[in-house]
């Protein structure tokens, strides 16, 4: 995925299925300059992480 698409997904009202290493995640913030996203898994909303957007997969 690229940063533009990650930002689009973050801004739509409906939930889009996105995974990181096989786990469903929620995108909280996208840094388009750095090509990173702040995400958390759906099971652990308190465990935020910053990851390269190219590791995110849309289903």
pLDDT number for residue 8: 97
Please state the domain extents for the chain. Answer: 3-58
Q: What angle do CA 58, 34, 18 make, to 5 degrees?
A: 15
Average pLDDT, the chain: 97
Segment 23-49 shows an average pLDDT of 97
pLDDT band at 42 (very low <50, low <70, confident <90, very high): very high
* Backbone CA torsion sign across 41, 42, 43, 45: positive
pLDDT number for residue 1: 97
Q: Where are the beta strands (DSSP E) in the chain?
A: 18-20, 23-31, 36-41, 44-52, 56-58
CATH topology of domain 3-58: SH3 type barrels. (2.30.30)
Distances (CA, A) of 56 to 31, 34: 14, 15
Segment 9-30 shows an average pLDDT of 96
Segment 25-46 shows an average pLDDT of 97
Q: 3-class DSSP state for residue 43?
A: coil
């Amino acid at each position: 995925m690229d940063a533009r698409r990650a930002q689009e997904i973050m801004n739509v009202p409906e939930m889009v299925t996105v995974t990181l290493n096989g786990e469903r995640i929620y995108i909280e913030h996208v840094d388009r300059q750095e090509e990173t996203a702040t995400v958390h898994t759906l099971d652990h909303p308190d465990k935020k992480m910053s990851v390269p957007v190219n590791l995110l997969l849309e289903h």
